[in-house]
Amino acid sequence: MTSSLLAGIVALLARVLATVDSSRRLRLWPALRLAVALRRQERRIAREVRDPRRNPYAHLNAHFADMPGDAPLNQPYERAEPVSPVD
């Protein structure tokens, strides 16, 4: 979503809120600010996840996206042996 489109959406929401009575408007503005802040945070995190300079595991995103949902993370063990601490 480009910044001009986002600005248009915010302007439209401002016009809609301007038509609403003042008591309801006072309750809606904090919710609108929270929604905008959460969306900005979501976009920032998504951008950082894709950026290999900020996320050293970015090259694995495609690999894990292609895995089927029921793929096992580890091969099952045939038998499990207890591990005792070393003295």
pLDDT in tens, 5-58: 777 787 777 777 776 666 666 677 788 888 899 999 999 888 887 777 777 777
For residue 25, the model assigns a pLDDT of: 61
- Report pLDDT for 84: 74
Cα–Cα distances in angstroms (integers) from residue 45 to residues 25, 33, 68, 73, in the given order:
30, 18, 24, 25
CA–CA distance, 56 with 35 (Å, rounded to integer): 30
pLDDT of residue 26: 66
pTM: 0.40
Which pLDDT score, from 0 to 100, does residue 54 have? 77
